[in-house]
Structure 1
Amino acid sequence: MLVGYARVSTQEQETHAQTDALRNAGVGFIFSEKRSGGSMAKRPALEEMLTKIGAGDTVVVYKLDRIARSLKDLLIIIERIEAAGAEFRSLTELIDTRSPAGRMFFQIVGAFAEFERELIRERTRVGMAAAMRRGVKMGRPTAMSEAEEAEAMRLWFTGDYTKIALARRYGTHISSIKRAIKRYRERHQPSLLDAA
């Protein structure tokens, strides 16, 4: 039986493009999830698929990076697929592990995919470092202005306001109030050296 696996990261929307391609390839059952590919441990649909496949099955993915983000993880997953008596196929890279040439090509493509991801990570790190040197503030913008945040902290520490009440007052989410409290405590906490 052809068994499909589709994954999108939490930032993306839907797996439809992958599942449509898998169905067009004759895949009967598809395990699908919206999870980051960074950790195999946090992907329950992948784990469920790996425990349910058996002899004669072929695991089919749209693209290699949908099933694994590193060559190491990819090799571990393929090893588990083969240990179950199943085989592996990628539609985009035209990889089929049923032949020695297919297995070799699979490892080469996996190594290049990992290399490409590392280059992207490195470019991102360099770009972020350059932006920070130019004074660009990284991360999401704060929900309140500095003046609003200072006033909210003054009200919070009177003990008369809950986090929810402050969130309503400033038209923001409670998590913004929690982050503001955390920032305030980090800035105003006396250091261990000052206390000594």
Structure 2
Amino acid sequence: MASVGYARVSTREQNLDAQTDALEAAACEKVFVEHASGVLAKRPALDDALDYLRDGDTLVVTKLDRLGRSVRNLKEVADGLERRGVGLKALSQGIDTTTPGGRLFFHMLAAIAEFEHDLIVERTKDGLAAARARGRKGGGRSKMTATKARQARTMYDEKTYTVQQIAETFGVSRGTIYRHLGEDVSPA
């Protein structure tokens, strides 16, 4: 029944000391550290920590946001730990899923965060629909005017320029050129 710590910072310039100090003060026998953005799918130190944990162990983090990329990901990690008989502690939030009250508190927080996320998505969709109804469309301004698109088509039809060369001529990506060339032209 070991306590295993996991600490993460997003960049090499950030300091892990506060997290590792807190994890050592929480009597973690081993601490895995990561220098990676939380949005990255690949976090080798987290994978190592998860592989290291055994039934009866507890994974300890200073804050829940150090562990999951999103609420959904955090819930998946926590559910995976629970299935394996591994507890989860978040020191600053006072969460300890090794107790019934801690599990309840964690699931309530996760449900509230997921509800908040769903509300944000719903409001965003409503706002975009209202803007479209007023004739506005989102996204940045097109880098290709109708004239540039015709020039790109002419260059493409001459078959002397590659799509990459055409893209470089107009300062856009190959995807933008393909989009303006139309559906009848596809990447090779």
Do they fold alike, i.e. is TM over 0.5? yes
Q: 1:192 — aligned with what?
A: none
Deviation string 1:83-121 (CA, Å, 9 cap, x unpaired) is: 555321224532112321111111111111111111111
Aligned partner of 1:67: which letter?
A: G
- State the one-letter code of the partner of 2:22: A
Query: Whose helix proportion is higher, 1 or 2?
Result: 1
Shift of the 59–65 alpha-carbon distance from structure 1 to 2, 3 Å rule, reads: closer
Q: 1:122, CA displacement in angstroms?
A: 0.7
Aligned length: 175
Normalising by structure 2, what TM-score?
0.72
CA distance in 1, matches of 2:66, 2:112: 11
Is residue 23 of structure 1 aligned with residue 20 of structure 2? yes
Runs (4+) of structure 1 exceeding 6 A deviation are: 15-18
Partner of 2:80: 80
- 1:193 counterpart residue number: none
Amino acid at match of 2:100: P
Structure-1 residue corresponding to 2:4: 2
C-alpha change, 1:76 and 1:144, in structure 2 (3 Å) is: closer
5+ residue gaps, structure 1: 9-13, 190-196
Partner-residue secondary structure (3-state), 1:30: strand
Q: Aligned partners of 1:16 and 1:87: how far apart in 2?
A: 31
The alpha-carbon deviation at position 80 of structure 1 amounts to 2.7
Partner of 1:180: 177
What is the TM-score when the length of structure 1 is the normalising length? 0.69
Q: CA deviation at 1:61?
A: 5.1
Aligned to 1:124: 124
Q: Distance in 2 between matches of 1:64 and 1:129?
A: 32
Q: What residue in structure 2 maps to residue 34 of structure 1?
A: 37
CA distance in 1, matches of 2:9, 2:152: 41
Q: One-letter code of the match for 2:140? A: R
State yes or no: 1:59 paired with 2:60: yes
Report the identity percentage.
26
Q: Which ranges in structure 2 are unaligned for 5 or more consecutive residues?
A: 25-30
> Where does residue 149 of structure 1 map in the other structure?
149
Q: 1:162 to 1:135 in 2, by over 3 A?
A: same
- Preserved contact between residue 5 and residue 67 of structure 1 (Cα < 8 Å): no
- Relative to structure 1, is the Cα distance of residues 137 and 15 closer, same or farther in structure 2, using a 3 angstrom cutoff? farther
SS in 2 for 1:2: strand
CA RMSD between the two structures: 3.3
Aligned to 2:102: 102
Letter in 1 for 2:4: L
